[in-house]
Amino acid sequence: MNTFFHFALLFAAGCCVCGMLIAIFRIFIGPSAQDRVLAFDGAYVNGMLLLLVVGMTSGSTFYFDLALLIALFGFIGTASLGKFLWRGEVIEP
């Protein structure tokens, strides 16, 4: 791996960490529940991207599998929270 690519990955990891911190701040401070759900969505996307950057840095495919699981569970969590906020229940009778 050349030096420029290494520094680009470090910069990308720093940007992902900053984005995740801003999203976590919005989760705790968000004025409405919809803002908190969007911040949760942003936090898991940044976490997934951070795992992908770590996977590219280390060269291991294990991190890519973990990122796929985070994307799957994050999508399910965001969809269920959105449905709960829209209808008031997740599972309809």
Tens digits of pLDDT across the chain (93 residues): 689 999 999 999 999 999 999 999 999 998 888 888 889 999 999 999 999 999 999 988 899 999 999 999 999 988 888 888 888 776 766
CA-wise closest residue to 49 among 59, 34, 64, 32: 64
| pTM for the whole structure | 0.83
Query: Taking a C-beta distance cutoff of 8 angstroms, is the pair 66, 57 a contact?
Result: no
Q: CATH assignment of 3-87, given 1.10.10, 1.10.357, 1.20.1740, 1.10.287? A: 1.10.287
CA nearest neighbour of 75 among 67, 86, 65, 64: 67
**Residue whose pair of structure tokens reads 């803002």 in the numeric block:** 35
